[in-house]
Structure 1
Amino acid sequence: MPRISELLGRDEPTFSFEFMPPRTPEGEENFKQALAELAPLEPSFVSVTYGAGGSTREKTVEIVRHIKDAHGLEAMAHFTCVGASVDELRETLEEIREAGIDNVLALRGDPPRGQTDWVASEGGLEYSHQLVSLLRDNYDFGIGAACFPETHIHAVSPEADLQYLKAKVDAGVDYLITQLFFDNALYYDFVERARAIGIEVPIIPGIMPITGYGQIKTITGLCGASLPEHVLGELDARAEDREAVAEFGVSYATMQCADLLAHGAPGIHFCTMNRSPATRAILSALRLWRPWDTSRTGLGEPRRPAVGA
């Protein structure tokens, strides 16, 4: 199969799904059902996350291998440097390579549960650009990395965050996937600032459809993403009706994705939360709508819309 970087920049945008390793029997069933229902949509690729502190490392590799072997999909393993020495990182990378996995999303990772500060492990790495260098210098993987339209929660400033991102890209990153966001103007501004300092790799928007009122409040609180006031107002008006919240979430995400694709985004990476209905509905609508056909600037370089997003 082609590397993910080879899929970007073609005439059609990429559509990809993010899954999480399940932790409970119920979660296992949800994951299996979501995968069975989303695989027939033939995504460009899927990714599988690590738990906090690298807690699902072995499970992640196992699931990625299963997705590739059983479903014939290109699958990418998230890979962090938290909770491991360089020697241990190399051991896991050998497992990933032996499993036939070609693509890795290189991340610093979150602290283990119960810890607020990130501290490098003894004999380990401190920054994700060091992890990218380890990958690029020693392994033949396609390498993706994360970026943050609203600035990483631990960054001292937006400017410092961008310079840190450039160090990652210069170390050998092929493409970037953004943290979730709900205001497209944030993405357009971020891409413009990234290009201005010489970051030229494709930047794929990460989109999470809103499916639950409490859930999205918790997630945005943890990662520092903001909800626009008009979106908050619509959610507040539906707070007691879970089905109405989910219907609004699908509608909003569909419009958000259509605007991004019409203005040149190279693809959409859906955070599925191991559920399929919202992602299926949005992707089906987008493939019928084909908003990217209106773009005239190429799929690799978003242009600002004429009106606010």
Structure 2
Amino acid sequence: MSAPKVSFEFFPPQTLEASFRLWDTVQTLAPLDPRFVSVTYGAGGTTRDLTREAVATLHKSSGLRVAAHLTCVNASRAETMAIADGFAAAGVTDIVALRGDPPKGEGQFKPHPEGFDTSCELIAALAETGRFNIRVGAYPDVHPEAANAQADVDWLKRKIDAGANEALTQFFFEAETFFRFRDACEKAGIDAPITPGILPIENWKGARNFALRCGTTIPAWVEEAFEKAVRDGREDLLATAICTELCSELLDGGVENLHFYTLNRPELTRDVCHALGVLPKVQLENVA
């Protein structure tokens, strides 16, 4: 099993302390030579300006390939495309194009009166410029708003047909979940790369709540194992073991790239990467 290529997702800092944590996260994970790193938007576009600042700073100072998240929420088409143009002018030509979550307190996504109605419309507009490498979301477990699993596959097909280059999945707990989704996508004629999203579980309560909100199936064995590990003070050990095993199964099944949701807490992600043979570039060069 050869070591995978990895990428990492960060979120933009909202305090000075969080800024230091983001920089520490970047410093910890940059030596692993990621394909790219991405910076998220908050729900409802609440961190739009912070995302732009974090993307520009990372692009200038880190030497990493940076992908900016861009959503359809609370902005007109002109405003959204102006943000995209700003990214391109700053040298950032990788975008993760998403519909986006509604603002807190609003149950359903409501398009801006002059905005993009769907992620497919945003993707098509970005693709038409010819300036961007476009990544999109995908859902191995059924999205809460989808009628069924096939609807998620069909929607991803529309995104790829609109001009997306790669899909990044929501996190999941078992490799078989991803393999079923990958097979269904192949059957539907989707030939763009589909990269599994991996969530190293730093905090079981938080991860469990997030999984319930986004429709990710929680296997009974995972729930039982974490409840026992939390009681015994062995949560980090279990999290590392489960995440490493999941990634190993994916690699055995032909996966070549992994995308880690770091939550700006890099230690567990780093430890899993090391276990998979993803070592600091300097260390690899010394070995060579």
The interval holding the TM-score normalised by the smaller chain is over 0.9
Residue 265 in structure 1 maps to residue 255 in structure 2? yes
Aligned-pair identity in percent equals: 36
Aligned to 2:243: 253
Shift of 1:94: 1.4
Which of 183, 192, 196 in structure 2 is aligned with 1:205?
196
Conserved? CA contact 1:81–1:108, under 8 Å = yes
What are the ranges of 5 or more consecutive residues in structure 1 without an aligned counterpart?
Answer: 1-10, 290-309
Partners in 1 of 2:206 and 2:15 — Cα distance? 18
Q: Secondary structure at the match of 2:172?
A: coil
Partners in 1 of 2:237 and 2:3 — Cα distance? 27
Aligned to 1:39: 30
What is the TM-score when the length of structure 1 is the normalising length? 0.86
Residue 231 in structure 1 maps to residue 215 in structure 2? no
Q: Deviations over 1:95-151 (max 9, x none)?
A: 111111010011000001111111001111111111110001124100110100012
Give the residue type in structure 2 aligned to 1:240. R
Which residues in structure 2 correspond to 1:104-183 (within 5 Å)? 104-183=95-174
Shift of 1:276: 1.0
Aligned to 2:284: none
Q: Secondary structure at the match of 1:240?
A: helix
Conserved? CA contact 1:183–1:227, under 8 Å = no
What are the ranges of 5 or more consecutive residues in structure 2 without an aligned counterpart?
Answer: 280-288
Shift of 1:288: 6.4
Give the residue type in structure 2 aligned to 1:269. H
Q: Secondary structure at the match of 1:17?
A: strand
Q: Secondary structure at the match of 1:287?
A: coil
Shift of 1:165: 1.3
Q: Secondary structure at the match of 2:167?
A: strand
Give the residue type in structure 2 aligned to 1:88. E
Shift of 1:157: 1.8
Which of 89, 101, 118 in structure 2 is aligned with 1:98?
89
Partners in 2 of 1:43 and 1:118 — Cα distance? 33
Residue 282 in structure 1 maps to residue 272 in structure 2? yes
Conserved? CA contact 1:132–1:143, under 8 Å = yes
What is the TM-score when the length of structure 2 is the normalising length? 0.93
Partners in 1 of 2:219 and 2:62 — Cα distance? 38
Between 1:38-47 and 1:96-105, the stretch displaced more is: 38-47
Partners in 1 of 2:20 and 2:36 — Cα distance? 21
Q: Secondary structure at the match of 2:97?
A: strand
Shift of 1:12: 6.5
Conserved? CA contact 2:14–2:50, under 8 Å = no
Q: Secondary structure at the match of 2:22?
A: helix
Give the residue type in structure 2 aligned to 1:205. P
Partners in 1 of 2:183 and 2:152 — Cα distance? 14
Q: CA 1:251 to 1:95, structure 2 compared with 1: closer, same or farther past 3 Å?
A: same
Partners in 1 of 2:202 and 2:4 — Cα distance? 24
Aligned to 2:283: none
Conserved? CA contact 2:4–2:276, under 8 Å = no
Between 1:230-239 and 1:179-188, the stretch displaced more is: 230-239
Q: CA 1:247 to 1:182, structure 2 compared with 1: closer, same or farther past 3 Å?
A: same
Total equivalences in the alignment: 278
Partners in 2 of 1:201 and 1:177 — Cα distance? 11
Partners in 2 of 1:18 and 1:214 — Cα distance? 20
* CA RMSD after TM alignment: 1.5
Conserved? CA contact 1:205–1:269, under 8 Å = yes
Q: CA 1:240 to 1:22, structure 2 compared with 1: closer, same or farther past 3 Å?
A: farther
Conserved? CA contact 1:203–1:266, under 8 Å = no
Q: Secondary structure at the match of 1:109?
A: coil
Give the residue type in structure 2 aligned to 1:196. K
Partners in 2 of 1:94 and 1:103 — Cα distance? 12
Q: Secondary structure at the match of 2:205?
A: helix
Partners in 1 of 2:17 and 2:218 — Cα distance? 30
Partners in 1 of 2:10 and 2:137 — Cα distance? 16
